Amino acid sequence: MIQVGIVGGTGYTGVELLRLLAAHPQVELKAITSRSEAGVRVDEMFPNLRGHVDLEFTVPDAAILKSCDLVFFATPNGIAMGMAQELVDAGVKVIDLAADFRIKDIAVWEKWYGMEHAAPELVKEAVYGLPELNRDEIKQARIIANPGCYPTAVTLGFLPLVKNGLVDISRMVADAKSGVSGAGRGASVGTLFSEVDSSFKAYATPGHRHLPEISQNLSLIADDEVGLTFVPHLLPMIRGIHATLYAEVADHGVDLQKLYENFYQDEPFADVLPAGSHPETRSVRGGNVCRMAIHRPQGGNTVVILSVIDNLVKGAAGQAVQNMNIAFGFDEAAGLGIIPQLP
Amino acid sequence: MIQVGIVGGTGYTGVELLRLLAAHPQVELKAITSRSEAGVRVDEMFPNLRGHVDLEFTVPDAAILKSCDLVFFATPNGIAMGMAQELVDAGVKVIDLAADFRIKDIAVWEKWYGMEHAAPELVKEAVYGLPELNRDEIKQARIIANPGCYPTAVTLGFLPLVKNGLVDISRMVADAKSGVSGAGRGASVGTLFSEVDSSFKAYATPGHRHLPEISQNLSLIADDEVGLTFVPHLLPMIRGIHATLYAEVADHGVDLQKLYENFYQDEPFADVLPAGSHPETRSVRGGNVCRMAIHRPQGGNTVVILSVIDNLVKGAAGQAVQNMNIAFGFDEAAGLGIIPQLP
Amino acid sequence: MIQVGIVGGTGYTGVELLRLLAAHPQVELKAITSRSEAGVRVDEMFPNLRGHVDLEFTVPDAAILKSCDLVFFATPNGIAMGMAQELVDAGVKVIDLAADFRIKDIAVWEKWYGMEHAAPELVKEAVYGLPELNRDEIKQARIIANPGCYPTAVTLGFLPLVKNGLVDISRMVADAKSGVSGAGRGASVGTLFSEVDSSFKAYATPGHRHLPEISQNLSLIADDEVGLTFVPHLLPMIRGIHATLYAEVADHGVDLQKLYENFYQDEPFADVLPAGSHPETRSVRGGNVCRMAIHRPQGGNTVVILSVIDNLVKGAAGQAVQNMNIAFGFDEAAGLGIIPQLP
Amino acid sequence: MIQVGIVGGTGYTGVELLRLLAAHPQVELKAITSRSEAGVRVDEMFPNLRGHVDLEFTVPDAAILKSCDLVFFATPNGIAMGMAQELVDAGVKVIDLAADFRIKDIAVWEKWYGMEHAAPELVKEAVYGLPELNRDEIKQARIIANPGCYPTAVTLGFLPLVKNGLVDISRMVADAKSGVSGAGRGASVGTLFSEVDSSFKAYATPGHRHLPEISQNLSLIADDEVGLTFVPHLLPMIRGIHATLYAEVADHGVDLQKLYENFYQDEPFADVLPAGSHPETRSVRGGNVCRMAIHRPQGGNTVVILSVIDNLVKGAAGQAVQNMNIAFGFDEAAGLGIIPQLP
């Protein structure tokens, strides 16, 4: 049983963390902080948690956080980098669900996130928490940079192809679609129901913050620079990411279906569907899993990978719990057995 | 550990039963039948169950069903009444999620369901499976008639008022709204996405099959005939029922909020919200709970009860599992600890 | 051809007014004001208007507004009451789509709207712009208080019953459901897509601002005080109001279907459906019409009226244009021939 | 004023045709046929048309159809090809909204549509009704093959690039997303609300019927064979197509934004948005227009075109009316001035 704190629990990744941790057999929730909601019962704000979480939001208190074994940051970008050092020094493990520790090149990070980085030395130390890529490093990590939602879906989708040098990495395309919850719980006109429902659009085509993160992942895997066109779109639904990935394969005669099945066969949360499948985002809604299908339309040289996750689970809180399980030596699937809801 | 069979598992209550039973610590799923889908893997039809249910649909086989401890019927109305006797005779408990055993007056049943009843004597024996009403009878029951979704939300909402004789039972109103999944998974124009999305309507105002079921419940509770106007509506969403209930109270000075809190304080799955609340259907989505709030607008004589459930869980499969737990002496909450998803 | 100005055109009633007025044969749009968006092209904010509206938002300019024949206020409550006198003095007609002139009893208004009224004398003069009730007065009006959305649907639904003294007016129930656009285009957590989609709830059960407006209407019609319980609900869709109305009828043997058909037979925008119908909100989406159906379930004493409108059209901008047509002697249906979209 | 008949008016393209034609100043609707609904009032099936269409469905009657000036086929594939010859011989123009006359290569058509073609000689004569491509031919045509929805969005999006030889036509990608109404009004499990809402998936990745149609268009424009990967996806919304198009440009220093603006400057229904824009499908909902934006992310060689239409309007019924206007010498925009609804 470990003691866990959550900093910034009023957003969607926060409530999702609470949903997962409340049912985790080895976790005791010690504190959940929110300056603005201090004193409010968690289950008053999130009534789905009634009977499951008996806590109030509190103002962040360093002493309490330092007495935890692990602190999750479910905060906006730029918060964790100011608090992590103190916690790590106190022997507390840190998992940041925001972007502070994801990008190794500080200059790149500062350009895309529009602020100065407060803890560049911790970035060096931090482990990028994609278990399918870095499981061994996560075991030892003091600071884990939990991946972004788009980067999780896109990286897992391309990983076996790029790792095996099977595609032209100079011009890959990731056409990605996300549910609205990815934009968070802050009040804004752009994510009002009446602005988003019954409509669909691309956004950030000139450049999205997840582009450098994905490019870093794929370049590390390829051990070479990649050329990626990444276009995110906004879906009129709450949860789910669907990445449709395009790349050119030389015809090596490799059976790509087999390749993917073998590559992921021991992974508890990466699921390769039978040949010919089309994964639906609802098949992963609420569950910590990435499902994929591999296509080669008309037998041509363009391979199409379809990759779906729940952006709040495998794309955020679920992956964070998976990282926690690995870092503390628990069963990697502990607390993550939730079956997706369908319909 | 009991052996459980499901007859008719291809609809929404079927897949929901599977989601719940697959995670139940004392249940072994032995068979799930479907004539039309025999030979198809369950997780091919319902990919959310991949990794959790390793079964194929089979043609119904009396021998296998009779070797179970319990058989659920997740079939259309009129199926269970033809098969129940044989199972009961073999010592198998039966829980019918359809309407075959809900209405005690056979003539009324035959009028509303448009067919002759095949097993009137079993109707007499069957226990109406609303635990908050009939927990003791359920413990001994061989046949349990699992309540309809609307009747669950409406009955639980009115129960404390009617039981305590506080309202004029001659003219009560239940304005109920349901998500589309209540209409089932059969192909029909009326429940197509393009017919239902972004629109709202009442239906069956002249008379809905759940009206006699609700009236029977309330009359039994009141020990007198009730006058109920019941208008169901179709919501452009998948899961959830919201019943808005209206009745006239004489001013006894009774604190209705306290009354409800006391009435339901020991119930694991009936949750009275704090005064002034408005339950959202999403607060119960995926979970086996009915949440209620009590209002008396402008301090007048009209009391307004707001009652929400997930129609597929507390309104169907979850309540069926709750009934199973009671009937087999398990912890009533076993396998039902799922926290609703929000957002 | 009249010159028309719009004050406050950046909300949903504003863009809807623009959609209607841009296609109106006797209207020239002269100015649309918005302090915050001054200088922005209207069709940059609302790209559906590209090719139809060639205007920029401007800061409100008294001289320009006073040179109009008519000014619409599509502003928050409390704005029109500060500007109307000056316009009326300059011979400009005013139609306020907000609530400033709807409630005759100033004390009641101030209680429900939480501010002091700035122009009580104009309230006396203002005509409540429900054409089916006040057509003759609208013809002469200088100030028209455009009705609220709920009050339009509920008043038109109850009107023939109450006018003819057929129901017990001491305890009527209006169970009303609205799309989210009724809450406006302001940024707020409560109307975010992820808060509203796939869920349903009642709100403001203790008291909603439209209650005194509806009560005023019905009391004037009945020439007696009415007792009304009004519970609004939030639908997971953008446009549409569905009011389900309940009242007790004494059994006069009146044919209610005929009564409604006769009552509304000359009304261009009140449509009584054939007996047994259930109006869908989509049947009025984008159109300026209220459709109604009359039921008397099981032949009992409770009459159920189903009444639907598009809250942005007959519930706001369309009714405002209808009022303009009446006030300026145009064909009442001019510019309002838009056929609702289905699906 | 021309006399118009519609064969097969009970689907979504049928009701949309009715919505448009009912408001068209030069059209008299003479007959609308449906074997299954003969005798039913059109506005009983589609209540949005109450007060606008005063017709009943009738069984198809050759004499009546032959007395029309124009007959639209809003039928399933394979119907128009059996009836067109007789009509054309009688001097009636035919516009087929299905696929019977779209593909010039009969063998290709028969392969993708799974039936023998009944009128190959008419295919030769038929004009592909994309006005931006074939306006002059449409003027003279007796038979017009109204384009598919995906082909309209994709072809208009790629047209200026391919026409000007600016991209590598051997490997283009069209990642297309469609609302559910594109699947029609037939009862099927796959398009039930509970199957489609709150979820997203690709489908028909191995090959979709619109692929050969798009390839034919682009090959004709390029005067060379093209290599296209086309992946359609299903959006949880009713109306709208968004095509995200990817192609490699050689760096000729061409200003693509200017190119598109010039190319489409005289087109009434192709709208190039300002640089940096992201078209939303709602900006065209209910309107007959294709809106496009041109991007070149990070200044690289991959050009990204975003192209949106309403699949039922510019993708079906609206384009059919546009073709009618051209073929009969009317103002091309007659009856098509409907402003899209937002929100």
Q: How confident is the model at residue B328, as a pLDDT?
A: 98
- Tokens 């840190």 belong to A94
Q: Which of residues 187-206 of C touch D (CB under 8 A)?
A: 197-198
Cα Rg for chain C, rounded, in angstroms?
20
**pLDDT value, residue C2:** 98
Which residues, numbered 30 to 49 in chain B, qualify as contacts with chain A under a Cβ-Cβ cut-off of 8 Å?
Answer: 44, 46-49
Phi, psi angles (nearest 5°) of residue B262: -70, -45
Interface predicted TM-score (ipTM): 0.97
Q: Is residue B45 part of a domain?
A: yes
Q: Which of A24, A27, A50, A185 to mutate to test the interface with B (most CBs of B within 10 A)?
A: A50
Cβ D281–A199 below 8 Å, yes or no?
yes
User: Is any Cβ of chain A less than 8 angstroms from the Cβ of C282?
Assistant: no
Both tokens assigned to D230: 């086309």
Quickly state the pLDDT bin for A251 (edges 50, 70, 90): confident
**Residue C252 pLDDT:** 75
Catalytic site includes residue C290? no
Which domain covers residue C77, as residue numbers? 2-125
Q: Of the candidates B231, B73, B209, B200, which has an alpha carbon nearest to the alpha carbon of residue B146?
A: B73
Q: Interior CA angle at A55 toward A52 and A59, to 5°?
A: 150
C205 with B175: Cβ contact below 8 A: no
- Specify if B140 maps to a domain: no
Point out the residues of D that are catalytic.
149
- CA distances B29 to B69, B317, B327, Å, are 11, 15, 17
Phi, psi (deg, nearest 5) at residue B101: -115, 15
3-state secondary structure of B295: strand
Give me C107's structure tokens.
């004390």
pTM for this one?
0.98
- Contacting residues of D for A304, CB less than 8 Å apart: 205, 229, 231
Verify cis geometry, omega within 30 degrees of 0, for the bond prior to B297.
Answer: no
The verdict on C306 touching B (C-beta cutoff 8 Å) is yes
Whether pLDDT at A287 is above 90: yes
Please give the share of chain D, as a percent, with pLDDT higher than 70.
100
**Tally of structural domains, chain D:** 2
pLDDT on residue C92? 98
Q: What is the CATH number of the domain that holds C198?
A: 3.30.360.10
**Total residues found in chain B within this entry:** 343
pLDDT digit string, tens, across residues C268-291 = 999 999 999 999 999 999 999 999
Residue B244, chain C, CB below 8 Å: the answer is yes
In a shared domain, residues C115 and C240: no
Chains that touch C (3 or more CB pairs under 8 A): A, B, D
What phi and psi, each to the nearest 5 degrees, are found at residue C25?
-70, -15
Instruction: Check the CA dihedral B44-B47-B50-B52 and report its sign.
Output: negative
Beta strands in chain C (DSSP E): 2-7, 27-33, 57-58, 70-73, 93-96, 127-128, 143-145, 172-178, 201-202, 228-234, 241-248, 270-272, 290-295, 302-309
Closest to B264 (Cα-Cα) out of B289, B296, B297, B228:
B289
Name every chain B residue with its beta carbon within 8 A of the beta carbon of A286: 286, 341
pLDDT digits (tens, 9 = 90+) for C97-141: 999 999 999 999 999 999 999 999 999 999 999 999 999 999 999
- Measured between alpha carbons, how far is D243 from A202 in angstroms, rounded to an integer? 10
Model pLDDT for residues C70-81, shown as the tens digit of each residue: 999 999 999 999
Task: Round to whole Å and give the CA distance between A268 and A289.
Answer: 8
Same domain, D118 and D197: no
pLDDT at B249: 95
**Residue D185 contacts B, CB cutoff 8 Å:** yes
pLDDT at A253: 86
From chain D, the residues in CB contact with B236 under 8 A are 193, 197
Question: In the numeric block, which tokens belong to residue A91?
Answer: 């022997």
Distance, in Å, from the CA atom of A44 to the CA atom of D46, rounded to the nearest integer, reads 44
Q: Is residue D138 part of a domain?
A: no
Q: How confident is the model at residue A252 (pLDDT cuts 50, 70, 90)?
A: confident
- Interhelix angle D149-163/D256-263, rounded to 10 degrees, is 120
What mean pLDDT is predicted for residues B285-314? 97
Residues B174 and B39 occupy one common structural domain: no
Q: Which two tokens stand for residue D223?
A: 């005067």
Q: Are residues D119 and D156 in the same domain?
A: no
- In the structure encoding, which two tokens stand for residue B69, read together? 């401890």
Task: Choose the closest CB to A199 out of D205, D244, D282.
Answer: D282
Choose the closest CB to C48 out of D19, D49, D341.
Answer: D341
Q: Which chains reach chain A with 3 or more Cβ–Cβ distances below 8 angstroms?
A: B, C, D
A316 within domain boundaries: no
**Is D131 a member of any domain?**
no
Amino acid of residue B166 = L
In chain B, what residues touch D193 (CB-CB under 8 Å)?
180, 191-193, 195-197, 236, 238
Least Cα separation, residue A70 to chain C (angstroms): 29
Q: With CB atoms and an 8 Å threshold, state whether D238 touches C343.
A: yes
Overall average pLDDT of the C188-193 stretch: 98
Chain mean position to CA B40: 28
Q: Identify the band that residue C251 occupies on the pLDDT scale cut at 50, 70 and 90.
A: confident
Clarify whether residues B281 and B182 are in a common domain: yes
Query: In Å, how far is B13's CA from the nearest CA of chain D?
Result: 13
Q: What is the CATH number of the domain that holds A45?
A: 3.40.50.720
DSSP-based three-state secondary structure for B280: coil
Q: Is the pLDDT of residue B236 over 80?
A: yes
> How does the average pLDDT of chain A come out, rounded?
97
Chain position carrying tokens 């030596």: A329
Residues A106, A187: one domain? no
How many Cβ pairs within 8 Å bridge chains A and C?
62
- Whole-angstrom Cα distance, residue B115 to residue A98? 60
pLDDT for B113-163, tens place per residue?
A: 999 999 999 999 999 999 999 999 999 999 999 999 999 999 999 999 999
- Which entry of A6, A149, A243, A294 is annotated as an active-site residue? A149
Same domain, yes or no: D164 and D288: yes
Q: What is the mean pLDDT of residues D189-199?
A: 98
**Residue B253 clears pLDDT 90, i.e. is over it:** no
* Digit-coded pLDDT (tens) for B85-122: 999 999 999 999 999 999 999 999 999 999 999 999 99
- On whether residue D324 sits in a domain, the answer given is no
Co-location of C226 and C301 in the same domain? yes
Distance from CA of B16 to the nearest CA of C (A): 18
> Which residues in chain D are closer than 8 Å to B342, comparing Cβ atoms?
none
Q: What is the pLDDT of residue B251?
A: 74
Tell me if D56 sits within 8 A of D41, measured CB to CB.
yes
The string of pLDDT tens digits covering residues D43-81 is: 999 999 999 999 999 999 999 999 999 999 999 999 999
pLDDT band at D102 (very low <50, low <70, confident <90, very high): very high
SS (H, E, C) D283-314: HHCCCCCEEEEEECHHHCCEEEEEEEECCCHH
Q: Hunting for tokens 């190959």 — which residue is that?
A: D120
Residue D251 has pLDDT above 90, yes or no: no
On whether residue D142 sits in a domain, the answer given is: no
Give residue-wise pLDDT tens across range B186-216. Answer: 999 999 999 999 999 999 999 999 999 999 9
Determine the Cα–Cα distance for residues C153 and B281; give it in Å rounded to an integer: 25
Whether residue D198 and residue A295 make contact (CB cut-off 8 A), yes or no, is no
Domain check: are C83 and C170 in the same one?
A: no
Residues D42 and D103 in one domain: yes
Any residues with CB less than 8 A from the CB of B299 and at least 6 apart, and which?
none
Using omega within 30 degrees of 0 as the cis cutoff, is the peptide bond preceding D151 cis? no
Decide if D332 is inside a domain. Answer: no
What CA–CA distances, in Å, run from C97 to A183, C128, C216?
A: 32, 11, 18
SS (H, E, C) chain A: CEEEEEECCCCHHHHHHHHHHHCCCCEEEEEEECCCCCCCEHHHHCHHHCCCCCCEEECCCHHHHHCCCEEEECCCCCCHHHHHHHHHHCCCEEEECCCCCCCCCHHHHHHHHCCCCCCHHHHHHCEECCHHHHHHHHHHCCEEECCCHHHHHHHHHHHHHHHCCCECCCCEEEEEEECHHHHCCCCCHHHEHHHHCCCCEECCCCCCCHHHHHHHHHHHHHCCCCCEEEEEEECCCCCCEEEEEEEEECCCCCCHHHHHHHHCCCCCCEEECCCCCCCCHHHHCCCCCEEEEEECHHHCCEEEEEEEECCCHHHHHHHHHHHHHHHCCCCCCCCCCCCCCCC
Instruction: Give the closest-approach CA distance of D298 to chain A in angstroms.
Output: 6
Compare all CA atoms of chain C with the CA of A238 and give the residue at the minimum distance. C194
Which residues in C lie closer than 8 A to residue D339 (C-beta atoms)? 19, 22-23, 48-49, 52
Q: Do D194 and B185 touch (CB under 8 A)?
A: yes
Per-residue CA distances from A240 to A192, A284, A293, A312, B240 (Å): 18, 8, 16, 8, 20
* Helical H segments across D28-79, by residue range: 42-45, 62-66
Give the residue among C324, C318, C311 at the shortest CA–CA distance from A194.
Answer: C311
Task: Please give, rounded to a whole number of angstroms, the shortest distance from the CA of D190 to a CA of chain A.
Answer: 12
Q: Each residue of A115-157: pLDDT tens digit?
A: 999 999 999 999 999 999 999 999 999 999 999 999 999 999 9
User: A76 pLDDT exceeds 90?
Assistant: yes
- Contact partners, residue A263, CB within 8 Å, separation at least 6: A159, A160, A163, A272
Query: A32 and A114 share a domain?
Result: yes
Residue among A51, A238, A239 whose CB faces B271 most closely = A51
Q: Is A139 an interface residue toward B (CB < 8 Å)?
A: no
Pick from A15, A40, A149, A194 the residue to mutate for testing the C interface (most C CBs within 10 Å). A194
* C-chain residue closest to D193, CA distance: C198
Region label for C335, one of left (φ > 0), alpha (ψ between -120 and 50) or beta (otherwise): left
Q: What mean pLDDT is reported for chain D?
A: 97
Which residues, in sequence order, are CB contacts of C340 under 8 Å at separation 6+? C282, C283, C284, C285, C286, C287, C289, C310, D48
Q: What's the confidence (pLDDT) of residue C24?
A: 98
Residues A159 and A305 in one domain: yes
- Asked if D284 reaches chain C (Cβ–Cβ under 8 Å), the answer is yes
